């Protein structure tokens, strides 16, 4: 069982905060820490207003989220790193080669990369949220 799951995107204000909230809620395991970070995080920034809105419409509260950079200590403490794109996986592998076996695409089971909705219309955020929700559902039986 994974005790520390890190979800990684670029700015840590759109995709990974939404995925973090969905996975934490759906996994419903007090023994598992679910967190998020970014490869080029907007450190200290709240989640994007559109991400907050779309997540709230699905029952998730991102209001307390603040962007965090994925540093070596953050990465190496994770048992599993779920990334949005292969470029994110490459970024982790370059900085922490021993983590290669712990890094997986969130959309692995659908062979899907989750696109960045940053500065896109609301529909892009809705689509990304739905993709994230589906991908998290695919992971749940493998994480229990």
Catalytic residue chosen out of the listed positions 14, 15, 24, 48? 15
Longest CA span, the chain: 39
To the query of whether residue 102 is one of the catalytic residues in this protein, the response is: no
Catalytic residue chosen out of the listed positions 26, 66, 95, 116? 116
Helix or strand run (H / E) with residue 104: strand 103-105
CA distance 103 to 81: 5
Q: Which residues contact 120 (CB under 8 A, 6 or more apart)?
A: none
Q: How many CA atoms lie within 13 A of 69 on its CB side?
A: 6
To the query of whether residue 122 is one of the catalytic residues in this protein, the response is: no
To the query of whether residue 135 is one of the catalytic residues in this protein, the response is: no
Active site residues: 9, 15, 116
């Amino acid at each position: 069982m994974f005790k520390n799951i890190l979800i990684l995107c670029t700015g840590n204000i759109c995709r990974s905060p939404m995925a973090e909230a969905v996975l934490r809620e759906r996994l419903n395991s007090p023994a598992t820490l679910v967190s998020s970070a970014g490869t080029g995080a907007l450190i200290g920034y709240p989640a994007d207003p559109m991400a907050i809105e779309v997540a709230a419409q699905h029952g998730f509260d991102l209001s307390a989220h603040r962007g965090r950079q994925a540093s070596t200590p953050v990465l190496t403490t994770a048992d599993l790193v779920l990334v949005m794109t292969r470029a994110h996986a490459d970024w982790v592998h370059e900085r922490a080669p021993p983590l290669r076996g712990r890094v997986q695409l969130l959309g692995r089971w659908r062979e899907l990369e989750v696109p960045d909705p940053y500065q896109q219309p609301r529909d892009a955020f809705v689509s990304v949220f739905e993709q994230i929700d589906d991908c998290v559902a695919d992971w749940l039986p493998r994480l229990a």
